[in-house]
Amino acid sequence: MDQAPGRRKDTFYIIPHTHWEGALFKTREAYLATGLPTILRALRLLRAHPGYRFVLDQVCYVKPFLERYPEEEATFRALVAEGRLAIVGGTHVMPDVN
């Protein structure tokens, strides 16, 4: 379908990411129990689909993930270095206050 003259084509971005409240509604351990497997699934998707990218918006979950899944550390680091796994935002030295 052709666009009318003078109309721009909008771009819609879908950004796969995850966000947890830390300990706002559940305990931190409860968030880790449900959230860390999400990171593991993201790594599996990244390995299976070379064009896929994923965003972690809270750095405070990186250490617990690597402690519980040490076998994933090399993959995790490689994906970060490739720019396919992005870690943005704070909550390591900046509290997540909503």
25 has a pLDDT exceeding 90: no
pLDDT band at 91 (very low <50, low <70, confident <90, very high): low
Over the stretch 40-76, which tens digit does the pLDDT of each residue have? 999 999 999 999 999 998 888 899 999 999 999 999 9
Tokens matching residue 28: 């931190």
**Model pTM score:** 0.74
SS3 5: coil
| pLDDT recorded at residue 50 | 94
Q: Cα separation of 14 and 78, whole Å? A: 23
Q: Cα separation of 66 and 77, whole Å? A: 10
| pLDDT recorded at residue 97 | 53
